[in-house]
C-alpha cells in the first residue's frame, strides 16, 4: 500500500483528534467492528463508550434522542449525531456464556465493566474551514473521534440552530438540558414577523417563557434591531416586568438552574420601566372629580391610585418596601392632539437591595369625533353585516352634509328617536325643534331606509359601546380641553426609544373590566381591536411614506378571547378573520409580528394555526396533539414535559424541531390575583416631587381652575 497515502490518513486522524479536543471532549471512536452505513433512508454509525465515562455521564451521552458529534476522518467536518439506541451488556453476554453455565448467585458488579454500545444517526455536517453547514449525506469513517460538544457556536451550527435572535432557553432532550447549558436557543426576529403561537396548559410556563422573550428584547440581547413590544394583557400578568425576578432570593433554586441563570448575567436584565396604556371609564373619572378639577389633577390622582393598586399587594406579600420619588404629569405635542401621561419614579427596596423602577402611565378614553366611520364600526365586532353597511352610510352622510354630532350619546339618542318615529303609524306633529342636528339625523335614518331589525342591532351595539364608559368623558373646566382624549399611539411608537427607553408597552385590560358595567368580552375586544387597528394604520402610513419600518412585536395573551374558533357568532368570526388577514399581509413586509398565547389550539381561530409559522408547544393535553402536526417522537413528550420545557417547531430550524427549557423568570413574576390586600410600602409623595429630568419638548400642564401649577407636574 502507498506509504504516502497511509501517512496522510495518519495525519487526518491526528488532525481529527485535535479538532475534537478543541470543540469538546472525546468519549469514544466510531466502531471498527460494526460497519458505518448510508442509504436512501439515511445513515448510521456505531461507537463504544468506556464504562467509567458512561457511569459518570450517562444522562448526557447515552440518552435516546440526545445529541453528540463526530469529526469525520476523511472530511474533517464536524457532524451532529442523534442517539437512536443504547445497548448495555454484561461481561457474560460479551463472552457469550450460556445461562445454564452461570452459577448462583448471578450478581457480580464487575460484570458491568463493559463498554456501552451506541447507535447514532448523522444529521448535519459543519465545514469548520468554510463555516458552511450541509446535510450529512455521506458515510462516517470508522475510528473517527466522537465527542461531547462544549463550544456553543459549534453546537448551534451542527444542530442547525439560529445564532442570533431572541433568547428562548437551552436545548434539551426531554427535560434534561444538553451540553451543560452550552446549547443556547435563539429565535430570529424574522420568525416573529411570520407570527408565533404559544400553546400550553395552565402552569406549564407560558407566561414565564413570554416574559423571558420580552426581557431579551428589552435588553437588546443578541438582536440586530430595536423592537417595540406591545402586550395585550387581560390578566395583569405583565405589570411586574420592571420588578426584580423572585428567584434572586429563592434559596430552594437548584444548582443547575442557578448555573443557567448565571450564564445570562450582564446580558439579559429586566426592563427598568414599563409603559401602561390605561383605558379609563367615566366611573373612574367621576370618582376623582372635585371642585376646580383639571385633567392634569385627575390623571395624576388616577395614576397614584393605580400604582398603589398594583404594587402594594406585592410589597405586602413579599416584604419589600417602595418609595415614590417623583410624579410628573407630562404633555408632549402631537399631531392631532397631544400625548399626555404620568411618569412615576419609585425606588424599590428588596430587603436591602435598592433598585429604581419607572412607570409611564397613560390614562385615556375615546372621543366619538376622533373616529372615522370605519374606525368606529370596527370597534364592535358584534355589528351584523347589514348594520355595518347602514351605519357606515349614515355616518358618512353626516360628514358630507356637515352634520355635527359631538358625542356618541347624541347619536344614540337620535337613533332611538328614529326608531320611535318609524314605529309611529301616522306622522305626528313635532312641535318646537330643540336640536336641529338631532332632528336632521333622524331624517337621515328615515331617508336611508334602515330596516327595523337592522336599526335594532345598531342601537344594541352602540348602546353596548356606551355601556363601557370609554366614550366622551367630560369635565367642566374654565379653560382647556373638556374631553379626555385617546393617546397618539403612533407618536409613542415613533419616539419609543428616544423618549421611553424602549420600555415594554402594556395594555391593562383588567382595569377597565373592574370599572365598567359592560359585557367583559366586549370590553376586551373594543380596546384590543382599537390598539391593533391603530398599529396597523401606523404601519400602513409608514409604507405610504416610504419610511423605514420599525419592528413591532405584539403579545396577545389569552388569544382565544380575541380570536375565537369558528364556533362563535358568525359576524364576530368574520370580523376576526378580516383582522387576521391584515396581520398576515403586514407581517413580513412591515416588520410586524404577533405572538399568540393560548391554552388549547381548539379554542383559537383555524387561521391562527395556519398563520403562525412558528409554534412553541409546552405541556398540553393529548387531545390537542393532532392539530399541531408533531412528529411521532414528540407526541408522547409534550404530554409529560415538566414546567418551562417546550417543543419549538419552526421553519428557521434546519431540523424543523427542537426541545428546549427556558429559565426561571428573568423579570418580575408575581401572581397579583393570588396576593393579599395592600399593607406594607412607603408612599412618600410630597417630599420627593420634581426630581426627574425631562425632554426639551415636554410642556408644563397648568391647573386651569385655580390658575396654579399642579403639584408634581413638570416641563
Q: What is the pLDDT of residue 624?
A: 86
Q: What is the pLDDT of residue 104?
A: 58
Residue 708 has pLDDT above 80, yes or no: no
Same domain as 515, residue 649: yes
Same domain as 550, residue 434: no
Residue 674 has pLDDT above 80, yes or no: no
Q: How far apart are CA 29 and CA 20, in angstroms?
A: 11
For residue 276, CA distances in Å to 19, 34, 164, 487 come to 52, 64, 29, 12
Same domain as 202, residue 72: no
Same domain as 431, residue 522: no
pLDDT in tens, 522-543: 899 899 989 998 999 898 888 8
Q: What is the mean pLDDT of residues 584-601?
A: 87
Same domain as 198, residue 92: no
Q: Which residue has the cell 393617546?
A: 487
Same domain as 248, residue 103: no
Q: What is the pLDDT of residue 682?
A: 46
Vertex 708, ends 706 and 714: CA angle to 5°? Answer: 140
The boundaries of the domain holding residue 543 are 179-271+504-615+643-670
> What's the domain count of the chain?
3
Same domain as 80, residue 193: no
Residue 484 has pLDDT above 60, yes or no: yes
Residue 302 has pLDDT above 90, yes or no: yes
The larger pLDDT score, comparing residue 447 to residue 117, is at: 117
Q: What is the pLDDT of residue 368?
A: 92
CATH of the domain at 571: 3.40.50.300
Q: What is the pLDDT of residue 680?
A: 42
For residue 282, being part of any structural domain is answered with no
Q: What is the pLDDT of residue 590?
A: 86
Strand, coil or helix: 348: strand
Residue 362 has pLDDT above 70, yes or no: yes
The larger pLDDT score, comparing residue 521 to residue 696, is at: 521
Q: What is the pLDDT of residue 105?
A: 64
Cβ atoms within 10 Å, residue 100: 5
Residue 287 has pLDDT above 80, yes or no: yes
For residue 166, being part of any structural domain is answered with no
For residue 189, CA distances in Å to 124, 160, 622 come to 24, 17, 30
Q: What is the pLDDT of residue 678?
A: 39
Q: What is the mean pLDDT of residues 301-311?
A: 94
- Answer whether 616's CB lies under 8 Å from 206's CB: no
pLDDT in tens, 243-270: 998 877 666 678 788 888 989 988 999 9
Q: What is the pLDDT of residue 447?
A: 77
For residue 406, being part of any structural domain is answered with yes
Same domain as 389, residue 263: no
Q: How far apart are CA 453 and CA 458, in angstroms?
A: 9
What share of the chain has pLDDT > 90, as a percent? 55
DSSP sequence for 46-57? EEEE-HHHHHHH
Residue 215 has pLDDT above 60, yes or no: yes
For residue 634, CA distances in Å to 85, 174, 592, 641 come to 17, 9, 30, 10
Q: What is the mean pLDDT of residues 98-122?
A: 83
Alpha carbon 670 to its chain centroid, in Å, reads 17
Same domain as 190, residue 151: no
C-alpha cell at 385: 353585516
For residue 13, being part of any structural domain is answered with yes
Q: How far apart are CA 595 and CA 210, in angstroms?
A: 9
pLDDT in tens, 2-38: 788 999 999 999 999 999 999 999 999 999 999 999 9
Q: How far apart are CA 506 and CA 508, in angstroms?
A: 6
Q: Which residue has the cell 399541531?
A: 628
C-alpha cell at 651: 421553519
The larger pLDDT score, comparing residue 289 to residue 684, is at: 289
Vertex 297, ends 409 and 243: CA angle to 5°? Answer: 105
DSSP sequence for 88-153? ---HHHHTT--GGGPPSS---GGGG-SPEEEEEEEEEEEETTTTEEEE--SPPPTTPEEEEE--HH
Q: What is the pLDDT of residue 102?
A: 65
Residue 172 banded pLDDT, cuts 50, 70, 90: very high
Residue 568 banded pLDDT, cuts 50, 70, 90: low
Same domain as 530, residue 387: no
Q: What is the pLDDT of residue 698?
A: 43
Q: What is the pLDDT of residue 70?
A: 98
Residue 349 has pLDDT above 60, yes or no: yes
Q: What is the pLDDT of residue 699?
A: 43
For residue 480, being part of any structural domain is answered with no
Q: What is the pLDDT of residue 648?
A: 97
Residue count (the chain): 715
Q: What is the pLDDT of residue 705?
A: 33
Q: What is the pLDDT of residue 566?
A: 66
Residue 120 has pLDDT above 90, yes or no: yes
What share of the chain has pLDDT > 70, as a percent? 87
Residue 564 DSSP symbol: B
- Answer whether 199's CB lies under 8 Å from 599's CB: yes
Domain end among 655, 670, 685:
670
The mean pLDDT of the chain is 86
Q: What is the pLDDT of residue 405?
A: 82
Residue 711 banded pLDDT, cuts 50, 70, 90: very low
Q: How far apart are CA 559 and CA 597, in angstroms?
A: 6
Same domain as 647, residue 598: yes
Query: Phi then psi for 429, rounded to 5 degrees?
Result: -65, 140
List the single range of 114-123, 235-244, 573-582, 622-631 with lowest mean pLDDT.
Answer: 573-582
Q: What is the pLDDT of residue 559?
A: 92
Cβ atoms within 10 Å, residue 219: 20
HEC readout, 39-79: ECCEEEEEEEECHHHHHHHHHHHCCCCCEEEEECCCCCCEE
For residue 478, being part of any structural domain is answered with no
pLDDT in tens, 194-210: 999 999 999 999 999 99
For residue 416, being part of any structural domain is answered with yes
Residue 551 DSSP symbol: P
For residue 419, CA distances in Å to 252, 344, 443 come to 67, 49, 11
Residue 469 has pLDDT above 90, yes or no: yes
DSSP sequence for 195-235? -EEEE--TTSSHHHHHHHHHHHHHHT-S-SS--EEEEEESS
Query: What dihedral angle (degrees, nearest 10) is formed by the CA atoms of 567, 571, 573, 579?
Result: 180
Residue 559 DSSP symbol: G
Same domain as 557, residue 461: no
C-alpha cell at 438: 338631532
pLDDT in tens, 406-445: 899 988 988 888 888 776 644 555 545 446 666 777 777 7
For residue 206, being part of any structural domain is answered with yes
List the single range of 48-52, 317-321, 598-602, 618-622 with lowest mean pLDDT.
Answer: 317-321
Strand, coil or helix: 636: coil
- Answer whether 322's CB lies under 8 Å from 685's CB: no
- The closest of 670, 558, 665, 554 to 310, measured between CA atoms, is 670
pLDDT in tens, 676-693: 443 444 444 433 333 333
- Answer whether 557's CB lies under 8 Å from 596's CB: no
The larger pLDDT score, comparing residue 547 to residue 305, is at: 305
The larger pLDDT score, comparing residue 488 to residue 544, is at: 488
- The closest of 11, 129, 26, 135 to 70, measured between CA atoms, is 26
The larger pLDDT score, comparing residue 417 to residue 273, is at: 273
HEC readout, 266-321: CCCCCCCEEEEEEECCHHHHHHHCCCCCCHHHHHHHHHHHHHHHHHHHHHHHHCCE
Amino acid at each position: 500500500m502507498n506509504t504516502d497515502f497511509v501517512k496522510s490518513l495518519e495525519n487526518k486522524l491526528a488532525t481529527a483528534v485535535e479538532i475534537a479536543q478543541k470543540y469538546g471532549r472525546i468519549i469514544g471512536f466510531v466502531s471498527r467492528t460494526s460497519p458505518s452505513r448510508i442509504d436512501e433512508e439515511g445513515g448510521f454509525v456505531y461507537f463504544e463508550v468506556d464504562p467509567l465515562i458512561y457511569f459518570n455521564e450517562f444522562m448526557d451521552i447515552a440518552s435516546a434522542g440526545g445529541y453528540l458529534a463526530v469529526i469525520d476522518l476523511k472530511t474533517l467536518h464536524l457532524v451532529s449525531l442523534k442517539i437512536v439506541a443504547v445497548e448495555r451488556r454484561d461481561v457474560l453476554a460479551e463472552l457469550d456464556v450460556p445461562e445454564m453455565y452461570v452459577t448462583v448467585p448471578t450478581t457480580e458488579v464487575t460484570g458491568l465493566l463493559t463498554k456501552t454500545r451506541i447507535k447514532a444517526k448523522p444529521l448535519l455536517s459543519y465545514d469548520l474551514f468554510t463555516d458552511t453547514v450541509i446535510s450529512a449525506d455521506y458515510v462516517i469513517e470508522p475510528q473517527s473521534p466522537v465527542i461531547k460538544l462544549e463550544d456553543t457556536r459549534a453546537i448551534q451550527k451542527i444542530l442547525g440552530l439560529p445564532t442570533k435572535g431572541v433568547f428562548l432557553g437551552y436545548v434539551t432532550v426531554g427535560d434534561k438540558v444538553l451540553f451543560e447549558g452550552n446549547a443556547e436557543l435563539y429565535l430570529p426576529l424574522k420568525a416573529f414577523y411570520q407570527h408565533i403561537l404559544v400553546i400550553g396548559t395552565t402552569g406549564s410556563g407560558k407566561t414565564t417563557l413570554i416574559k423571558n422573550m420580552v426581557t431579551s428584547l428589552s435588553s437588546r440581547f443578541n438582536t440586530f434591531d430595536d423592537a417595540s413590544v406591545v402586550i395585550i394583557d387581560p390578566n395583569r400578568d405583565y405589570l411586574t416586568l420592571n420588578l426584580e425576578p423572585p428567584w434572586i432570593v429563592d434559596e430552594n433554586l437548584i444548582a443547575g438552574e442557578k448555573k443557567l441563570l448565571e450564564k445570562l448575567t450582564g446580558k439579559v436584565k429586566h426592563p427598568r420601566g414599563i409603559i401602561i396604556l390605561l383605558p379609563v371609564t367615566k366611573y373612574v373619572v367621576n370618582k376623582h372629580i372635585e371642585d376646580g378639577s383639571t385633567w392634569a389633577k385627575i390623571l395624576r390622582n388616577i395614576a397614584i391610585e393605580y400604582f398603589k393598586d398594583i404594587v402594594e399587594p406585592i410589597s405586602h406579600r413579599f416584604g419589600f418596601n417602595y418609595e415614590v420619588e417623583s410624579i410628573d404629569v407630562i404633555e408632549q405635542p402631537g399631531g392631532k392632539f397631544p400625548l399626555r401621561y404620568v411618569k412615576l419614579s419609585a425606588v424599590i427596596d428588596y430587603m436591602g437591595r435598592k433598585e429604581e423602577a419607572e412607570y409611564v402611565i397613560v390614562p385615556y378614553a375615546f372621543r366619538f369625533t376622533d373616529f372615522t366611520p370605519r374606525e368606529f364600526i370596527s370597534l364592535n365586532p358584534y355589528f351584523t353585516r347589514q348594520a355595518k353597511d347602514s351605519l357606515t352610510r349614515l355616518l358618512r352622510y353626516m360628514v358630507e352634509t356637515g352634520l355635527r354630532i359631538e358625542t356618541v350619546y347624541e347619536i344614540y339618542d337620535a337613533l332611538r328617536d328614529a326608531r320611535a318615529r318609524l314605529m309611529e303609524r301616522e306622522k305626528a306633529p313635532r312641535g318646537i325643534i330643540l336640536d336641529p342636528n338631532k332632528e336632521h339625523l333622524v331624517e337621515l335614518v328615515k331617508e336611508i331606509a334602515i330596516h327595523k331589525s337592522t336599526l335594532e342591532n345598531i342601537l344594541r351595539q352602540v348602546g353596548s359601546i356606551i355601556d363601557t364608559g370609554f366614550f366622551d368623558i367630560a369635565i367642566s373646566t374654565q379653560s382647556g380641553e373638556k374631553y379626555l382624549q385617546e393617546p397618539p399611539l403612533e407618536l409613542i411608537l415613533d419616539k419609543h426609544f428616544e423618549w421611553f427607553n424602549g420600555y415594554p408597552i402594556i395594555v391593562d385590560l383588567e382595569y377597565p373590566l373592574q370599572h365598567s358595567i359592560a359585557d367583559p368580552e366586549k370590553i376586551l375586544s373594543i380596546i384590543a381591536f382599537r390598539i391593533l387597528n391603530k398599529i396597523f394604520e401606523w404601519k400602513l402610513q409608514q409604507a405610504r411614506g416610504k419610511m423605514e419600518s420599525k419592528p413591532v412585536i405584539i403579545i396577545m395573551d389569552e388569544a382565544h378571547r380575541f380570536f375565537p374558533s369558528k364556533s362563535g357568532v358568525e359576524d364576530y368570526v368574520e370580523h376576526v378573520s378580516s383582522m387576521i388577514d391584515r396581520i398576515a399581509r403586514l407581517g413580513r413586509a412591515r416588520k410586524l409580528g404577533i405572538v399568540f398565547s393560548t391554552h388549547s389550539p381548539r379554542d383559537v381561530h383555524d387561521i391562527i394555526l395556519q398563520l403562525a409559522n412558528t409554534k412553541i408547544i409546552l405541556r398540553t393535553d393529548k387531545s390537542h396533539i393532532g392539530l399541531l402536526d408533531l412528529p411521532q417522537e414528540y407526541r408522547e413528550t409534550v404530554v409529560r414535559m415538566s414546567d418551562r420545557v417546550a417543543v419549538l417547531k419552526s421553519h428557521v430550524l434546519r431540523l424543523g424541531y427542537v426541545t428546549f427549557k427556558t429559565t426561571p423568570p428573568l423579570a418580575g413574576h408575581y401572581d397579583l390575583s393570588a396576593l393579599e390586600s395592600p399593607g406594607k410600602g412607603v408612599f412618600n409623595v410630597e417630599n420627593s416631587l420634581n426630581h426627574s429630568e425631562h425632554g426639551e419638548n415636554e410642556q408644563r400642564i397648568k391647573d386651569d381652575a385655580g390658575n396654579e401649577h399642579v403639584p408634581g407636574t413638570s416641563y
